[in-house]
Amino acid sequence: MAFDSLTAFIAMEGHGPYVWTCYGAFFLLLGGLVYWSLRQRRQVMAAQRRELARAPASNMAAGERTRAASFTRVNASQD
């Protein structure tokens, strides 16, 4: 093992406070980013669900029917 004891590993020959602070900041920011991303995703999904639930109701209230796409085959003439 590179270090004689756990205390020597934590101290890292005087560089320990800097190293452990960097690790702490990294994991804190990474956790914050994961939390923020999940929260944003939940908000977007909820907004999309609300929009989807509202869209058909507003179309039916106006008396409009949604039409499916229709495909008509066009025969091109060969000149």
**7, 28, 31, 39, 41 from 36: Cα distances, Å:** 35, 12, 9, 5, 9
What pTM value is reported for the model?
0.58
Q: Tens of pLDDT along 10-63?
A: 899 889 999 999 999 999 999 999 999 999 999 999 999 998 888 766 555 555
* pLDDT digits 0-9 by tens, 3-13: 889 899 889 98
pLDDT tens-place string over residues 64-73: 556 677 777 7
Angle at the Cα of 20 from the Cα atoms of 18 and 26, rounded to 5 degrees: 105
* Cα(71)–Cα(29) distance, integer angstroms: 52
As a residue count, the chain comes to 79
